[in-house]
Structure 1
Amino acid sequence: MTGASGTVGREVVRRLPPQHTVRVMTRRPDTYRHTRPGTQVVGGDFTDEDSLARAVRGVTAAFLVTSPLTTGWDERFLHAAHRARVEHVVKLSAAAVLDPGADDTITRRQRTCEYLLRTSGLAWTLLRPRAYMSNTLTWAHTIRTQHTVHALHHTSPVACIDPRDIADVAAHTLTQPQHTGHAYQLTGPTPLTPLQQTTTLAHLLGHPLHCHEQGEHNARTTWRTTYPEPIVQALLHRARRQQAGTKTHTHTTTITHTTGHPARTYTTWATDHLTHFT
């Protein structure tokens, strides 16, 4: 398991059947906390080939999560996995790779990483989710302090997905061989705008919330304090495509067939995480 401290990865660890031994690779093994029996924690870094070789030694299946903002991580991991004779790699990618109009830096890198896996000689599965419902946790502070949501485009729809649904599919694909050679697009059941999500949160919280449209100028200014300019431009490109309605298609069949339950709604996600907003 890579990315086991992340939004999806930590949920995958919880869902893996108890008969499987799970090895978590992390740069800081002394800080990783888990309660799952049969979990090994090892130090590893995508920039350190020796640590990757140690991490994948004896592994049969791997869950690969890397940042699309970096280069070399997937290459080094897949090289180590191939040498260690890892049987199957499940890669967390993104639905944007299927959009021919998506030509930003982040999406191009994701396509490259998918290609590296498909041509690595390893058995593979690709998971391509839409935006996570948990992204709205970035609103928690202003909801608590100002009863306000700041969204780039408040009427921009996306078929966002509960990260737990991604984790459910990942746990199945890691442990069942019939998923090798498949790429799965994963979404929530309904496209939603920030304004609709704000309305849902207001109903659950029991008080009004205001959804303020941030606009591209303010978003660009904020992002530039954290990201280099090519990434800022990529984020703006992706936001414009979402505003144009390119991220509204729903694909929930895989979730239902693989996990046995329908894709979770935003209301379900928000109800289960409501304490973050109070």
Structure 2
Amino acid sequence: MILVTGATGTVGRLVLEGLPAHRAVRVLARDPARVGPAREGVEVVRASYQDRTGLRQALTGVSRALLVTSRVAGDDDAAFLSAAREAGVRQVVKLSAAAVLDAGAQDLITRWQRDSEAALTSSGLGWTLLRPRSFMSNALSWAPSVRAENVVRALYGAAPNACVDPRDIADVAVRALTEDGHTGRAYVLTGPRALSAVEQTRQLGGVLGRPLRFEELEPAQARASLLRRHPEAVVEALLDSALRQRAGAKVQVLETVRAVTGAAPRPFLAWARDHAGAFAPPAPLPAHGAGHAVTRAGDGRRPLC
């Protein structure tokens, strides 16, 4: 039995979709309704990391688990690992971040990620660490301004990042959850090329068939925007991460995705083509009586890594 946590998030959802149909799969979710329609045979257990009874139910009979946590500086990893040991889980595949290897990264988020990794590697459980760079899907945070103004706004537009397609992260996770030979391994996952936000804007505009303008945010503007969504300590961590990117800390490209999956990592251009609908402007209102509904994709983001 494989347990998937984080199945309502970017990577967990893709892992759930990518697991082979013949494997027994269970999902841990605080709100099962958000998991969406699962394939036949997937069991969904309602529980949180702080619900020991629910955790015990979710982990019973599980041999391998995908662990995704997001409560910065919380003890969700420790709670899950304790229950996993009691349940006899053999291997935990943990979603972390590439920043843990950067000695210059001492922000709140990275320190928490390092502590979470240490909790797993010292737990006595088999472990695999996934350390991706920034998700290509972070570009979805630009969708509202692209739709409305044909504008991308971001910090440090010339700073490159070897961002990775979440589908590649999920593909590596599926391999680690279904194959032997990944225990005790830490995989740093990047895309095929380090790109700046300016270059991403140019490529996205080409896909959309209309010119996009890049506007660089001042740090104060970025801070004010982030404070509307995150606690101050998290905002400072994200701004520190952006500074490290400007200093060149995130340019290294690795062949890990190809080495694990046998397939080349997807470029940003492919990601943009596959998600172009999220950036499309609203369709004109239908003529009176036409009655056509218009839907738009939502935004998604993940902190810089």
Q: Place the TM-score, normalised by the shorter chain, in its bin.
A: over 0.9
Q: How does 1:30-49 map to 2 (within 5 A)?
A: 30-49=33-52
Q: Does 1:80 align with 2:80?
A: no
What fraction of aligned residue pairs are identical, expressed as a percent?
Answer: 48
Q: Is the 8 A contact 1:68 1:106 kept in 2?
A: no
Offset at residue 241 of structure 1 (A): 0.2
> What is the alpha-carbon distance in structure 2 between the residues aligned to residue 163 and residue 180 of structure 1?
21
> What is the alpha-carbon distance in structure 2 between the residues aligned to residue 151 and residue 132 of structure 1?
15
Q: Which runs of 5+ in 2 are unaligned?
A: 281-305
Alignment partner, residue 294 of structure 2? none
> What is the alpha-carbon distance in structure 1 between the residues aligned to residue 88 and residue 38 of structure 2?
29
Q: Is the 8 A contact 1:130 1:161 kept in 2?
A: yes
Q: Does 1:144 align with 2:184?
A: no
Name the SS for the 2:215 alignment partner. strand
> What is the alpha-carbon distance in structure 2 between the residues aligned to residue 6 and residue 76 of structure 1?
20
Q: How does 1:181-196 map to 2 (within 5 A)?
A: 181-196=184-199
Report the number of matched residues.
Answer: 277
Name the SS for the 2:249 alignment partner. coil
Name the SS for the 1:179 alignment partner. coil
Q: Is the 8 A contact 1:68 1:109 kept in 2?
A: no
Name the SS for the 1:177 alignment partner. coil
Structure 1 consecutive aligned stretches of length 4 or more whose deviation exceeds 3 Å: none
Alignment partner, residue 89 of structure 1? 92
Alignment partner, residue 197 of structure 1? 200
Q: Is the 8 A contact 2:194 2:253 kept in 1?
A: yes
Q: Which runs of 5+ in 1 are unaligned?
A: none
Offset at residue 68 of structure 1 (A): 5.0
> What is the alpha-carbon distance in structure 2 between the residues aligned to residue 264 and residue 168 of structure 1?
11
Q: Does 1:264 align with 2:266?
A: yes
CA RMSD of aligned residues (A): 1.0
Q: Which digits, 9 at most, give the CA deviation of each residue in 1:228-278, with x for residues without a partner?
A: 2211111111110001110000112x2112212100000011011111111
Report the structure number with the largest CA radius of gyration.
Answer: 2
2:209 counterpart (199, 206, 211) = 206
Of 67-76 and 265-274, the range deviating more from structure 2: 67-76
Offset at residue 104 of structure 1 (A): 0.3
User: Which TM-score applies when normalising by structure 1?
Assistant: 0.97
Q: Does 1:276 align with 2:271?
A: no
Q: Which amino acid aligns with 2:262?
A: G
User: Which TM-score applies when normalising by structure 2?
Assistant: 0.89
Q: Which amino acid aligns with 2:178?
A: T
Of 99-108 and 34-43, the range deviating more from structure 2: 34-43
Q: Does 1:3 align with 2:6?
A: yes
> What is the alpha-carbon distance in structure 2 between the residues aligned to residue 119 and residue 170 of structure 1?
21
Q: Which digits, 9 at most, give the CA deviation of each residue in 1:181-236, with x for residues without a partner?
A: 00000000100000000000111111111000012000111112222221111111
Q: Does 1:61 align with 2:102?
A: no
Q: Which digits, 9 at most, give the CA deviation of each residue in 1:32-61, with x for residues without a partner?
A: 213423211110101222211111111110
> What is the alpha-carbon distance in structure 1 between the residues aligned to residue 272 and residue 149 of structure 2?
19
Name the SS for the 2:72 alignment partner. coil
Cα distance change of structure 1 residues 45 and 216 upon mapping to structure 2, 3 Å threshold: same
> What is the alpha-carbon distance in structure 2 between the residues aligned to residue 68 and residue 103 of structure 1?
18
Q: Does 1:133 align with 2:143?
A: no
